[in-house]
């Protein structure tokens, strides 16, 4: 998978003959964990260390309920901090392991995590590239669909940015936009002709809507 960082999962060769799965794709920063203000840089950004990683309130419970619906739960996240040398791949691994541990401790789990490590202009070495996996492009979704045998048109994306919604729509997913952080997004998205299927306040509302949608489609 080249420079896509991939965590766990069984692999496409073992899943190709099985019925298609449905999935909930989750952005990471701002959806699963808190976004941090890095004072030295003056920006809101992803955690740069495992110690900085904090689950958002209610996230583990919401993911646990999605687990019980029988949906694959897959993180799809741009993590250009590796390309920009804000942190190393080893640190990213530690952050991922902490995320898994904290969710497991609260009775929930992820089926997989896919990260795009590239940045088109600020990356270093091979990670400086205009790739097919960085959202708003849908490459991470296609890779996850192949790996987990997922039907993207029957799956869902939950994000908190324009890039998430664009990528989810391009992949054919039903899209949810969390409005808890970026309340100015709606105006900007309207100007660009971008519209999520659902605007929600948090993952608890996502769970309720997906339950209804799953009942309708069953």
How does residue 4 score in pLDDT terms, banded at 50, 70 and 90? low
pLDDT at 102 over 70: yes
pLDDT digits (tens, 9 = 90+) for 35-87: 885 556 555 578 999 999 999 999 999 999 999 999 999 999 999 999 989 89
DSSP character at residue 41: T
pLDDT digits (tens, 9 = 90+) for 111-141: 999 999 999 998 888 899 999 999 999 999 9
Q: Is 24:72 a contact under the CB 8 Å cutoff?
A: yes
How does residue 19 score in pLDDT terms, banded at 50, 70 and 90? confident
pLDDT digits (tens, 9 = 90+) for 147-180: 999 999 999 999 998 899 999 999 999 999 997 5
Nearest to 167 by CA among 132, 214, 216, 119: 132
What's domain 4-213's architecture? 3-Layer(aba) Sandwich (3.40)
CA 89, CA 7: separation in Å to the nearest integer?
Answer: 12
pLDDT at 25 over 80: yes
Q: What is the pLDDT of residue 1?
A: 47
CA 5, CA 97: separation in Å to the nearest integer?
Answer: 13
Catalytic residue among 27, 111, 160, 164: 27
Q: What is the pLDDT of residue 194?
A: 78
Length of the chain: 218
**Helices and strands, counts by H and E, the chain:** 7, 9
Domain coordinates in residue numbering, the chain: 4-213
Is residue 29 annotated as a catalytic residue, yes or no?
yes
Is residue 197 annotated as a catalytic residue, yes or no?
no
CA 134, CA 139: separation in Å to the nearest integer?
Answer: 7
């Amino acid at each position: 998978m080249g420079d896509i960082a991939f965590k766990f999962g069984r692999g496409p060769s073992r899943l190709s003959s099985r019925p298609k799965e449905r999935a909930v794709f989750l952005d990471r920063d701002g959806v699963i964990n808190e976004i941090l203000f890095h004072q030295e840089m003056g920006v809101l950004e992803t955690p740069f260390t495992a110690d900085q990683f904090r689950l958002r309130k209610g996230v583990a419970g919401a993911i646990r309920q999605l687990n019980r619906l029988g949906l694959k739960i897959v993180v799809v996240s741009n993590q250009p901090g590796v390309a920009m040398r804000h942190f190393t791949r080893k640190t990213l691994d530690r952050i991922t392991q902490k995320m898994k541990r904290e969710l497991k401790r609260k009775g929930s789990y992820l089926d997989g995590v896919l990260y795009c490590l590239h940045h088109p202009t600020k990356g270093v070495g091979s990670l400086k590239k205009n790739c097919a996996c960085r959202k708003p492009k849908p490459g991470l979704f296609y890779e996850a669909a192949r790996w987990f045998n997922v039907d993207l048109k029957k799956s869902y994306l939950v994000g908190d940015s324009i890039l998430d919604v664009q990528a989810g729509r391009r992949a054919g997913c039903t899209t949810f936009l969390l409005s808890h952080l970026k309340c100015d997004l709606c105006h900007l998205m309207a100007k660009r002709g971008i519209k999520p299927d659902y605007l929600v306040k948090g993952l608890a509302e996502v769970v309720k809507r997906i339950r209804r949608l799953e009942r309708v489609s069953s």
